[in-house]
Amino acid sequence: MKIGIGYDVHKFAQERKLILGGVEIPYRLGLLGHSDADVLVHAVIDAILGAAKLGDIGRLFPDTDASYKDISSLKLLSEAGHILYKEGYSIENIDCIICAEAPKIAPYALEMERNIANALNIPPDTVGVKGKTEEGLGFTGRGEGISAQAVCLIEKRGEPRFLKT
The residues binding Zn ion (CB under 5 A) are 8, 42
Q: Which is nearer to Zn ion, 42 or 116 (CB)?
A: 42
Helix (H, G, I), strand (E, B) or coil at 78: helix
Q: Given the complex with Zn ion, which of 83 and 156 has the nearer CB atom?
A: 83
From the CB of 34, what's the least distance to Zn ion, in Å? 8
Closer by beta carbon to Zn ion, 8 or else 113: 8
Among 98, 101, 140, 103, which Cα is nearest to 27's? 103
Q: What is the spatial distance between Cα 149 and Cα 5, in angstroms, rounded to a whole number?
A: 7
- For residues 73 and 50, give the distance between their C-alpha atoms in angstroms, rounded to a whole number: 17
Least distance in Å: CB of 23 to Zn ion?
16
Q: What share of the chain is helix, strand, coil (3-state, %, to 5)?
A: 35, 30, 40
Of 8 and 101, the one with the shorter C-beta distance to Zn ion is 8
Q: How far is the CB of 73 from Zn ion (least distance, A)?
A: 8
CA trace torsion 11, 14, 25, 3 (10° rounding)? -20
Q: What is the smallest separation between the CB atom of 39 and Zn ion, expressed in angstroms?
A: 6
